[in-house]
Amino acid sequence: FDTDDPLHGFVVGARSLFYETKDGGKRWVSRSFANLSKGQDVSYRFQAVTVKGDDVWIVGKPPLLLHSKDSGKTWKKVPVSRKLPGLPQVMKVLAPGKAELATSSGAVYVTDNDGKNFKSIVKETVDATLNRVSSSGVNGASYFTGSVKSIKRTQNGKYLAVASRGNFFLTYTPGEARWVPHNRISARRIQAMGFRDTANNDENPGVWMTLNGGYFTQATDEKYDDIDTETKKLFDFSSIRTGGIGIIDAAFRSQTEGWAVGGSGVIYFTTNGGKTWQFDSSGTELPCNLYNVKFFNNGKIGYMIGSAGILLRKVFEA
């Protein structure tokens, strides 16, 4: 959703799925792009969309960058270099004409001229970093396949990524030259990770991590991204009964209230900052997996996105 206009938003997905709303998500209208794959038998999977004012960006794969300077009325396809490390995965509008792009290989770029030129802000990709530091005790680094399976960004520019095999995670802080790899906290592989940032902008430092088998853990110490910190000592396991179903995403409305989603349409919520989680039956009958949960308008409205075109919306009273 547009940070300047909470009524205006977009949702994107596989098979070039693209919907727009102008009434705060009550009604969604399908949109399409003229001549996007003209003369080509290509089906694009849109990965992410970001909007601020008139500036809108969409990233997808096969490698694709779309940019609009008039709130999505008209679009321009921005050329993507074949030398780009990895696939475009995360895009964030920073100001008119200025945006930040992160790829599946850990490359991070910024443009201030509507995508005509991109400048790298990370000196080396994840691959290069691991080749240099793999002897420093990062378990599983030698099995790295060259890409990350998820990458997330905070409002202040910090990044968090999970290796494609789930055997370690990486952090990046603005101003640093490279990513910092960290060991996982147990023998179980990492399913997903994210920041504990709140939708109502209350201070809530740290990150959460889910492990294969339906385990949920979190670190509330800001030192989680220090290279010399022993990861296992910072993460605490939460009380959650998942029956082994994996938790794919989580988000916090406030310092105390958070929501998590996963396979088979499972939904959980917490009222004590993630220490204990309770089951919510809203998704019991849904024939899908739920992949994302997000909050907008200072946490007043929440959305959950799933497979099979499922989009859930909830309005919160406070």
Domains and CATH numbers, the chain: 1-121 (2.130.10.10)
- C-alpha 267/C-alpha 274 separation (Å) is 14
What is the tens place of the pLDDT at every residue in 101-155? 999 989 999 999 999 999 999 988 787 777 766 545 565 555 566 688 899 999 8
User: pTM (2 decimals)?
Assistant: 0.90
- C-alpha 83/C-alpha 71 separation (Å) is 30
Q: Could you check whether the bond before residue 174 is cis, i.e. omega within 30 degrees of 0?
A: no
Contact 196, 224 (CB under 8 A): no
Tokens representing 284 are: 């019991």
Residues pairing with 118 in the sheet: none
Q: Check whether 310 has a pLDDT greater than 50.
A: yes
Average pLDDT, the chain: 89
What is the tens place of the pLDDT at every residue in 161-206? 998 889 889 999 999 988 988 888 999 999 999 999 999 888 888 9
- Find, among 309, 249, 303, the residue nearest to 25 by Cα: 303
Which residues have C-beta within 8 Å of that of residue 93, sequence separation ≥ 6? Answer: 50, 51, 52, 53, 55, 56, 57, 99
